[in-house]
């Protein structure tokens, strides 16, 4: 099997609003890339949901996991959570800290820090909670920052196919549901 046959249609999410919507889709995987240093952190944000008539009801916080294995292993480590009503609670992120004596891998710690930074950024804040200079699009201030989705719908995880779906990271059916739910 060639790489081309299995490649998923990854794309860059380039606005605060697109990134936030994608991250709260319920089944989102992003890669945060620093193009200057080549550093990358792959982060999965997901929640439990029930299907309802016009979409879904969120039944848990959004669990934040960071990839800590090699890319091929896809091994993720839990690193904290965002409240289930995150659309209203803004930039809250509760980083998991291991109990006394517990160990946390360096990679998990770095991923947690990266997520906290990004989650704060798209809400117009620094990691310490202080407000940034008001802007319509805070991610645009970082020319060395790229936020990639991995080619799967941020809501249902299906492979994306339509160009406009690939642009926003959300497939047509889930996009309509988000509309019905007033979530976009």
Contacts with Zn ion, residue ranges (CB under 5 A): 153, 155-156, 171, 174
What minimum distance in Å lies between the beta carbon of 95 and Zn ion?
A: 28
**Given its phi and psi angles, is residue 23 left (phi above 0), alpha (psi -120 to 50 degrees) or beta?**
alpha
d(CA 84, CA 99): 24
d(CA 62, CA 115): 13
The residue among 22 and 93 lying less far from Zn ion, judged by its C-beta, is 22
What minimum distance in Å lies between the beta carbon of 177 and Zn ion?
A: 8
d(CA 12, CA 172): 18
The residue among 138 and 149 lying less far from Zn ion, judged by its C-beta, is 149
What minimum distance in Å lies between the beta carbon of 86 and Zn ion?
A: 19
First to last CA, the chain: 38
One DSSP character per residue, 54-109 reads TEEEE-SPEEEEEE-S-TTTT-EEEEEEE-TTHHHHTT--EE--PPTT----HHHH
The residue among 145 and 174 lying less far from Zn ion, judged by its C-beta, is 174
The DSSP code for 130 is: P
The residue among 41 and 177 lying less far from Zn ion, judged by its C-beta, is 177
The residue among 25 and 80 lying less far from Zn ion, judged by its C-beta, is 25
What minimum distance in Å lies between the beta carbon of 43 and Zn ion?
A: 19
What minimum distance in Å lies between the beta carbon of 173 and Zn ion?
A: 6
């Amino acid at each position: 099997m060639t790489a081309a046959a299995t490649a998923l249609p990854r794309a860059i999410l380039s606005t605060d609003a697109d990134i936030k919507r994608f991250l709260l889709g319920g089944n989102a995987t992003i890669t945060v890339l620093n193009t200057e240093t080549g550093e990358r952190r792959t982060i999965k944000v997901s929640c439990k949901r029930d299907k309802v008539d016009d979409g879904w009801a969120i039944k848990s916080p959004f669990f934040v996991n960071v990839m800590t294995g090699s890319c091929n292993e896809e091994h993720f480590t839990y690193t904290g959570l965002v409240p289930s009503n995150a659309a209203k609670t803004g930039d809250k992120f509760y980083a998991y800290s291991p109990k006394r004596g517990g160990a946390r891998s360096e990679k998990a710690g770095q991923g947690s820090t990266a997520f906290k930074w990004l989650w704060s950024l798209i809400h117009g804040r620094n990691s310490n909670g202080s407000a940034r200079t008001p802007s319509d699009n805070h991610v645009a201030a970082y020319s060395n920052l790229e936020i990639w989705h991995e080619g799967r719908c941020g809501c249902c995880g299906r492979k994306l196919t339509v160009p406009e779906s690939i642009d926003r990271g959300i497939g047509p059916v889930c996009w309509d549901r988000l509309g019905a739910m007033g979530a976009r």
